[in-house]
A and B are shown apart, each in its own frame.
Chain A
Amino acid sequence: MKQSSQKRLIYQKLAFSGMTLVASLTVLIIVLVVIYITSMGAGAISFEFIFSAPRDGMRAGGIMPAIIGTFYLTIGTAILAVPLGLGAAIYLSEYAPNNQMTRIVRIAITNLSGIPSVVYGLFGLGLFVLFLGFGTSIVAASMTLAIMTLPVIISTAEEALRAVPQSFRVVSVSLGGTRWQTIRKIVLPEALPGILTGIILGLERAAGETAPIMFTGAAFFLPSLPSSPVDPTMALPYHLFVISTQVPGMPVRIQFGTALVLLVFVLGMNVIASIIRSRARARRQW
Chain B
Amino acid sequence: MDIKTFTPPSLTKEKLRFTQVFETLISLTIKAAGYSAIVFVLMIFYFLLSEGTAAIGEIPPQVLFSTRWYPVEGYFGIWPLIGGSLLVTVGATLFAVPIGISTAIFISEIAPRWLREIFKPIIEILAGLPSVVLGFIGIIALAPNLRVLLDLPTGLTALTGSILLGAIAIPTIVSVAEDALDGVPRSYRDAALAIGATRWQTIWRVTLPAARSGVLTGIMLGIGRAIGETMTVMMVTGNAPVIVRGLSSLFLPTRTMTATIAAEMGEVAKGSVHYHMLFLIGVVLFIISLIVNITASALVFRSNKRSDRILS
A contacts B directly in the complex (CB < 8 Å)? yes
B69 to chain A, nearest CB (A): 17
B128 to chain A, nearest CB (A): 5
Interface contacts (Cβ under 8 Å), in number, total 259
The 8 A CB mask of A84-123 against B (1 = contact, 0 = none) is 1011101110111000000011111111111111111111
| Cβ contacts under 8 Å, B196 to chain A | 1
B301 to chain A, nearest CB (A): 9
Q: Is the CB of A208 within 8 A of B141?
A: no
Contact of B30 among A95, A125, A215 (CB under 8 A): A95
Q: Is the CB of A26 within 8 A of B170?
A: yes
B130 at the binding interface (Cβ < 8 Å): yes
Q: In B105-120, which residues have CB < 8 Å from any A CB?
A: 105-107, 110-111, 118-119
Chain A: interface secondary structure? Answer: helix
Q: In A3-45, which residues have CB < 8 Å from any B CB?
A: 5, 8-9, 11-12, 15-16, 18-20, 22-23, 26-27, 30-31, 33-34, 36-37
Q: Is the CB of A114 within 8 A of B285?
A: no
B89 to chain A, nearest CB (A): 12
Q: Is the CB of B265 within 8 A of A122?
A: yes
Q: Is the CB of B228 within 8 A of A36?
A: no
In the complex, what distance in Å separates the CA atom of A131 from the CA atom of B229? 26
Given contacts A16-B200, A20-B110, A180-B26, contact A116 B258 (CB under 8 A): yes
Residue of B nearest to A17 (CB): B110
In the complex, what distance in Å separates the CA atom of A270 from the CA atom of B231? 21
Hey, which bits of chain B sit against chain A, CB under 8 A?
A: 19, 22-23, 26-27, 29-38, 40-41, 43-44, 47-48, 50-51, 98-99, 102-103, 105-107, 110-111, 118-119, 121-126, 128-133, 135-137, 139-141, 170, 196-201, 203-204, 221, 224, 227-231, 235, 258, 261-262, 265-266, 270, 278-279, 282, 285-286, 289-290, 292-294, 296-297
Q: What are 25 A-B interface contacts by the 8 Å CB criterion?
A: A22-B106, A30-B122, A84-B36, A88-B33, A90-B33, A94-B30, A111-B290, A112-B40, A112-B41, A115-B228, A115-B286, A116-B228, A116-B229, A116-B286, A118-B262, A118-B285, A121-B261, A150-B40, A208-B133, A210-B130, A210-B132, A214-B266, A244-B135, A255-B136, A267-B125
